[in-house]
Amino acid sequence: VLPGPRVEGYRVQFGAFRDRGNAARLAGELGSRNIHAEVLPADRHGLHRVVTYGAFGDADSARRWAGEVTAAGLVCERPTVVR
């Protein structure tokens, strides 16, 4: 199951960076592995989060997908599910 185009729901976060360039690099690396990700604007802590482009309808689906991409070796560390 891949994330849908919805804006609301659960997303998978792959990282958070103070430097937007580092976040963009990770998003590009994920894209080269067919994992569509985007960089969110800096939050109140100054962090640019790299998350799935689109969202899952429930947390279990997001966790399951995160586990699949980790098991397939597409990401080095286990991503986090965020809302």
Assigned token pair, 34: 């067919």
Give the amino acid at 13. Answer: Q
Give pTM, 2 decimals.
Answer: 0.87
pLDDT digits 0-9 by tens, 17-33: 999 999 999 999 999 99
Class of residue 41 by CB neighbours under 10 A (exposed 0-12, middle 13-18, buried 19+) = exposed
Task: Tell me which H or E stretch contains 61.
Answer: helix 59-71
pLDDT digits 0-9 by tens, 11-68: 999 999 999 999 999 999 999 998 999 999 999 999 999 999 889 999 999 999 999 9
